[in-house]
Structure 1
Amino acid sequence: MNIQSGLTQRQKAAVIVRLLLDDEDVVSLATLNDELQTLLAEEMAGMEVVDRHTRDAVISEFCENLEAVGVTFPGNLDGTLEMLGSKLSEDSTDRLRRMAAMSGRGDPWMRISALPKESLEVLANGESVEMVALLLSKIPVQAASDLFSGLARERARAVAQAMSMTGEVGPDALRRVGLILLQAAENLPRPAIDTPATERVGAILNFATADLRDDVLGALGAEDMTFADGVRRAIFVYAHIPSRVATRDVARILREVDQPTLLRALAGADPEQKATSDFILANISQRMADGLREELAELGKVSIRDIEDAQNQVIAAIRALESAEELTLIKPADDDED
């Protein structure tokens, strides 16, 4: 069909989209809903040639319409939240996404995919195998693999068998399942404090004296060995530096610590402290290391409390760099892989 004039609005849209397809940076058509994508494809399938004059007229009309627009909005809650980004609080964003999904104005599977691992594990172990099969089919592959690997062997086999039937589920049924799972997830109890208790206790003990830290860990171990082990793994102290800090980051860390503090930290005499000090001195320039050794020899006696305070300041500097994503600590050797 050779179209020379009298294009419909849909045909004009098809012309504009066809021109935009030549641009690799064009916004994905996936942002349109399924109905609009189908209409657009059908319109383009029925068109063949548009002459240069008609093409230019369509472009001019399109540009005039763009110039007449003062401001645009996404037209849906998901797009609005993406546009607002960090301007809204996390709680407000979470509440709005939940309201949109439960009211049918948003995609429940987007929110399900963003659920924490712990919530997904509860759903995977508590819902029917058919619903779990759909859950694994809709969330990202890596998350689905982790979730599937954590299932009991018998349940995993049942879920795998149920996944063979997921291809027969229609869009409406899939959405209803998503809403059911989302409702179940919303009814799960939510901790008032996000940080796990082991990490909170570990962070506190990081800056306690060695005697107090050992005493608390001993008491925790006598009551709950599992919790005590979790706290122990969360603790990061001066003695852990050789096993947790990459050699390339040592010089960067020392730039955050003033020299008097560093000297007091290096003055630790017990074997673990000395091993850490040797590690630090071995991973800076020879000239700087020799200078620090000379000053250490002239430092005189330093109290245990002053040494521990200085070492805690070194740890605080490392934690600050970690929070700023300027370094990454090596995971403890006995940590489970995520």
Structure 2
Amino acid sequence: MPAAAKDDLRSLTGPEKAACMMLALGEEHGATLWKMFDDDEIKEISQAMANLGRVSSGLIEKLIVEFATQLNSQGSVVGSFESTERLLSRSLPKDRVSQIMDEIRGPAGRTMWDKLGNVNEMVLATYLKNEYPQTVAVVLSKIKPEHAARVLASLPEDFALEVVNRMLKMEAVQKDILDKVEQTLRVEFMSNLARTTRRDSHEMIAEIFNNLDRQTESRFITSLEERNRESAEKIKALMFTFEDLSKLDPGGIQTLLRAIEKDKLGLALKGASDTLRDLFFSNMSERAANILREDMEAMGPVRLRDVDEAQMMMVQIAKDLAAKGEILLADAKAGDELVY
């Protein structure tokens, strides 16, 4: 079922209103206006446009009145990355369009330094460790202290100490140097990041399959194995299942236990392997484990669908905790550490 079109003028931000108007103007009439915007304005409007979705013709009419123009509404419009790129291509050079689209597909932010604040610290540290310490010092001085701290902790220790020394001795950075660092980040880092972080289709399907009940998931995987075994194996390797929780360390298990409702935990463990069930029991006090065992016995037979839902809920909570850095999930298939 298609998402409802936006129709409330008060809910739109300034950039979203501008994006609606540019979409309504279309490629031919909007070309002259695009040329009059500076790069930051184009990026801000493009970001809003790419995430706009459907906009009702009624809202377009309200915008026309608000802007006091004589534009005739073209009906509902749809904003997407593809339509945004196509529209920009009609009025801007190809390399400029590519740069703008790479940036709006990458981490969101008004300026380069805002964008860096949305980049995972390990990703940023991996890039910066190959730069000059003075360059890294400039970058860390421009991003938020809490993010800079995480990046610094992810750098090799000797290199990080050299960066700290440079920061201690650093005076006001000249504008031309700052502009050069920003341009380098824009060309060498952000554009590559946008291209390399676009979601792999196997990763997307694996996440969808993780949210299927066990029988449906098995049916899809079996059918896929018959048609495309290579893709099926990639998807299975990317999936994080309930049984993969056995790879959590004791601290992770205890953190997860504190976040799970006890009735849901009992329901999920009813369908768990003996190994995983014993792992959870061994990380509880003897009294708590005995109470949980009694509660599980008192449940009697339970529906497989209810067990699946409880297990999927536990997996999702584990992923949320991992995203916050409170636990570390590991890929049971590859043995590599994964942070979701």
What TM-score bracket applies, with the shorter chain setting the length? 0.3 to 0.5
Taking structure 2 as the reference length, the TM-score comes to 0.43
Larger radius of gyration: 1
Taking structure 1 as the reference length, the TM-score comes to 0.43
